[in-house]
Amino acid sequence: MPKLLSKTTIASIAIAATAIGTIYLTSASRGNNIVNSSNSILAKDNSSPATLVSIWDKETEPNYSGTTEMTVYRSPNCGCCSVWVEHAQKHGFKIEDIKTDEMEALKQKHNIPPELASCHTTIIDGYVMEGHIPVDDIKRFLAEKPDMVGLAVPGMPIGTPGMEAKDIKQPFQILAFNDKGEVEVYKEYQSY
């Protein structure tokens, strides 16, 4: 409740401050950078989904001893890739986070079949990891060192790591693909 109160107060101040001539309003205080940039409570609101408990937080590959450094390529404007990056960090990965507008060219360069594409693309240990893959499945895959290009969760299924929503969990598959464009199901999540 104190949070709500402070939001309202700040919004009112903003209105009062700009009441002359044309008024610039936002319908929600969070969208108005001028108003809330110096406000710690609102900034905290903005930062992370800490209040949501993710089923993907649980460590299932505690004995993983492979590479922990990955490079994530993502659009600077994507609203979900950064949350997947946090998921990977929670599971011990060190991330080189590269924001680029050339995602399409990048996916072509790494032989990702177009129908497997998602938002962000990760490179680790010479493998391509496309989209919102649970990182413990990446650990399992890397330990096996298979003769494949990498893994993909096509599209952006809701419920996957970085895509958690309160009551929606879409079934999804992790697909493995090779350089001939052949695809196999690596793991399937029907319910989770």
Site residues, other proteins (CB under 8 A): 22-28, 30-32, 45-46, 48-52, 75, 77-80, 83, 103-104, 107-108, 112-119, 153-158, 162-166, 168, 170-173, 175-176, 181-186, 188-190
Provide the minimum distance between the beta carbon of 89 and other proteins in the complex, in angstroms, as a whole number. 15
- Separation CA 131–CA 122 (nearest Å): 8
User: What's the number of CA atoms in the CB half-sphere (13 Å) around residue 152?
Assistant: 26
Provide the minimum distance between the beta carbon of 84 and other proteins in the complex, in angstroms, as a whole number. 10
Residues 6 or more apart whose CB falls under 8 angstroms from that of 174 comprise 133, 134, 137, 151, 152, 153, 185, 186, 187, 188, 189
Q: Indicate the residue among 22 and 65 with the shorter CB distance to other proteins.
A: 22
Provide the minimum distance between the beta carbon of 153 and other proteins in the complex, in angstroms, as a whole number. 7
- Separation CA 82–CA 120 (nearest Å): 9
Q: Indicate the residue among 92 and 114 with the shorter CB distance to other proteins.
A: 114
Contact 150, 129 (CB under 8 A): yes
Provide the minimum distance between the beta carbon of 16 and other proteins in the complex, in angstroms, as a whole number. 15
Q: Indicate the residue among 16 and 62 with the shorter CB distance to other proteins.
A: 16
Q: Indicate the residue among 118 and 122 with the shorter CB distance to other proteins.
A: 118
* Rounded (10°) CA dihedral 166, 171, 172, 173: 140
